[in-house]
Structure 1
Amino acid sequence: MIRLAAALTASASLLVNQPALAQDHSRHQGMSMPGMQMPTPQKPAAKKAVAKKPGVKKQLRRQGKPTPALKPSPQAPTKPDEAMKGMNQASMPGMDMAPPASATQSSQSMPNMDMQDHSQHGATPQAAHAGMEMTGTALPAGDAPAPPPPSDHYADRLFPKVEMDRARAKSMREQGGRTVYQVMFNLAEYQARAGRDGYRWDGEAFVGGDINRFWLKSEGEGAFGDRLESAEVQALYSRAIGPYFDLQAGVRQDFGQGPNRTYATVGFEGLAPYLFEVEGALFLSNKGDLLGRLEGYYDQRITQRLVLQPRVELNLSAQDVPENRLGSGLTNAELGLRLRYEITRQFAPYIGVSYDAKTGRTADFARADGEDPTTTSFVAGVRLWF
């Protein structure tokens, strides 16, 4: 035990007196760090021979005193952090630490680094942009006229202008300038009603372009086995006054019971908001009679082929016309509901019901003639166009 204690004591003494090993920075000799001078590495000094002294425990045992427990030397730190405390420039010989650069140091001492001045953060935008060129949306508003649009076509530089003009005119015709036409029968039906069954038609046709068109309209009704009750034909010039409405003017000729009349006609036709098809007209006869009409319908699609169509038609007169059995005000109103099945868009059979009521003085004329002023009919027909 005495020999073991002596060996431990000698080892502790050697650890305390051994100098720290110098680090080898030979690989960094070519690198230069501004403000820092690296010391020249020196060779470690030769170790001196240390004379062995008798162990403390051995001396105490010889004197007859108790042996104290071994404690770590106060000069050796127990933690790495404590070893670094108190280190300064004086404790690191051979190393010269440069003082930090001041805040007023110019950017010339720091190459490749632009120092921005943020002292204008609180300034106004005008002051912040003083001395800077203003471009884009930063320019002040002006009232200079817009530059003229280009008047030439690039293709004219490569091909003859006459040929290109002809090609452009053809393209315009194909994209909306062509002449189009259509013939449509909105109503072509058989009416089953009290008394004698009847028939009714309402059709129109047009030819022209997108702006100017010529229209033919016709409608009428009658009873089987009897003469025609009423019929009319209209020839109209139509001009588009907007994307959805046309203004129409022309003549109307009446046939059927009573004296024939010719009317000057002015009206409109178009597509109202929510896809209501509407039509209205005023008629001035050669006898000075003024009549009016307003009608409309709506196609409610139940499926892609099944369509329910409510329909309303109102006829008016500004005065009594006894020879035509018409009274002033609302002469009659027709309400209809028809359900059609579109086998194709051009051909769609339908069934429905129609209610026609004469009012006011017109109803009085009908009663005087022995007729019922109201008529309810079950209808079946076809709607077609080509």
Structure 2
Amino acid sequence: MRGILLLAGVAPLLFAIPAMAQQADHSNMPGMQMPAPKKPAAKPKPRPQAKPVRRAQPKPAPSPPAVTPAAPAPTADPHAGHGMPVTRGRDMPDMQTPAAPGAPDPHAGHDMSAMPGMPGGDAATQHGTVGTALPAGNAPAPPPPSDHYADRVFPPDEMARARSALTREHGGTSTYQVMLNLAEYQVRDGRDGYRWDGEAWFGGDINRLTLKSEGEGSLGNGVDGAEVQALYSRALDAYWNLQAGVRHDFQPKPSRTYATIGIEGLAPYWFEVEGALFLSDKGDVLARAEGYYDQRITQRLILQPRVELNFAAQDVPENRIGSGLSNAELGLRLRYEIRREFAPYVGISHEWKVGDTARYARADGERTRATSFVFGIRTWF
């Protein structure tokens, strides 16, 4: 009975020994490599939730960080310098792309976080750290671009001619004007007469050649007085011109030639004003002041009051001129502008001689005062 129980206990051991031999590790045997057993796949970790970005309060813009240039690559890489920076995504904050061993990082020194669309870029723009929102400084302005840049592309001689033509056509050109402010017939008590007053000029905005002429006469007696002035006109500013030249009187006889210096321009409230001094070849000194104002009643109807005063520093008996205020004229003319360049007018004019000039007139049998009804044409082109 004991022998049967012993055999029953040993029999399982006899069957277990061959099975254990089959499960032995043979990886250390020469020439034998057994694949390692596969590990079960790890379960993916849950993605961390992106934390909300808290917008910081606006702060003074810091100075831009120094940019460190990337080291040159030892080999020619067609994609060097064109790679995008390593972006630390919000979805995978712990993942980074490792650089190849021994190769320079193409993104070193290029912080693209301030660009729109990059993490932090929109916030940086809103915080006023880029563009024209940078703080004001004392750095000098950059120099303007060099002039005549087109000379680098086109022949300089042709560009110089083009610039010269552009200057002439936009302010540097020469122009002219001829104006007859008075060209009228005078109806007087006793003897009718006529009168003219006008000027012409040629030149630019600064320098001009100016010609002036005025005179008067009586029907049946010819021209009583006539003069012509040739003047150089120089602009003092936008409203006033300084003039110098010569004046020659054809009538009355004997004729005289004068050196002339004067000024003309537009006074405040749109008064046209002119004044001049004359020094004759005989040493006589004369002066003249005149002015007028265009009072626009309608777009075509204009009322023009006008005054002219003549002075002499001494008696000039040859020309029947006395010292002081020699004569004056006050007129009022109403014109209708059919066109701006052509306007007929009617009006009244009163002239009188004073002082020694009146005494010369009475000695010659002439009247010292005269009132005239006038009509004429004001024109310019």
Normalised to the residue count of structure 1, the TM-score between the two structures is 0.63
Matches within 5 A, 1:241-280: 241-280=236-275
1:151 maps to: 146
Aligned to 1:207: 202
* Offset, 1:374: 1.2
Q: Give distance in 1, aligned partners of 2:138 and 2:353.
A: 67
1:120-139, Cα deviation, whole Å (9 max, x unpaired)? xxxxxxxx86x944997854
**Does structure 1 residue 283 correspond to structure 2 residue 278?**
yes
| 1:175-218 alpha-carbon deviations (Å, 9 max, x no partner) | 12222122211111000012210000111111122221111111
| Aligned counterpart for 2:181 among listed residues 183, 186, 191 | 186
Distance 1:311 1:320 in 2: 27
Task: Report the CA distance between 1:364 and its aligned residue.
Answer: 1.8
Q: In 2, Cα distance between the equivalents of 1:117 and 1:202? A: 77
Q: Does 2:305 correspond to 1:365? A: no
Bigger Rg, which one: 1
The answer for the alignment partner of 2:291 in structure 1 is 296
What's the counterpart of residue 36 of structure 1?
none
**Correspondence for 1:112:** 52
Unaligned 5+ residue runs, structure 1?
1-109, 119-127
Unpaired runs of 5+ residues, structure 2, are 1-49, 64-128
Deviations 1:309-334 (A, max 9, x none): 11111111112222222222211111
Does residue 329 (structure 1) correspond to residue 321 (structure 2)? The answer is no
**Judging changes above 3 Å, is the alpha-carbon distance between structure 1 residues 179 and 140 closer, same or farther for their aligned structure 2 residues?**
closer
Match of 1:309 among 288, 291, 304: 304
> Compared with structure 1, are the counterparts of its residues 380 and 116 closer, same or farther at alpha carbon in structure 2 (3 Å cutoff)?
closer
Matched, 1:352 2:347: yes
How far apart, in 2, do the equivalents of 1:178 and 1:152 lie?
22
- The percent of aligned pairs where both chains have the same amino acid is 66
Q: Distance in 1 between matches of 2:317 and 2:207?
A: 38
State how far apart, in whole Å, the 2-side matches of 1:175 and 1:115 are: 55
2:191 to 190, 196, 202: 196
Paired with 1:281 and 1:148, the residues of 2 have a C-alpha distance of 48
Q: Which amino acid aligns with 1:112?
A: P
* 1:328-384 Cα distance to aligned partner (Å, 9 max, x none): 221111111101111112211110000111122222222222222111100011111
> Aligned AA for 1:384?
T
Residues 295, 159 of structure 1: CA spacing in aligned structure 2 closer, same or farther, 3 A cutoff?
A: same
Aligned residues: 267
Deviation of the 1:114 alpha carbon: 3.7
User: Whole-Å Cα distance in 2 between the matches of residues 252 and 172 of structure 1?
Assistant: 34
* Equivalent position SS for 1:166: helix
- Return closer, same or farther for 1:345/1:361 CA change in 2, 3 Å cut-off: same
Aligned to 2:370: 375
Supply the distance in 2 between the matched residues of 1:115 and 1:230 (Cα, whole angstroms): 91
CA RMSD of aligned residues (A): 2.6
Given the two structures, how large is their TM-score scaled by the length of structure 2? 0.64
3-state SS, counterpart of residue 243 of structure 1:
coil
Cross-structure match for 2:166: 171
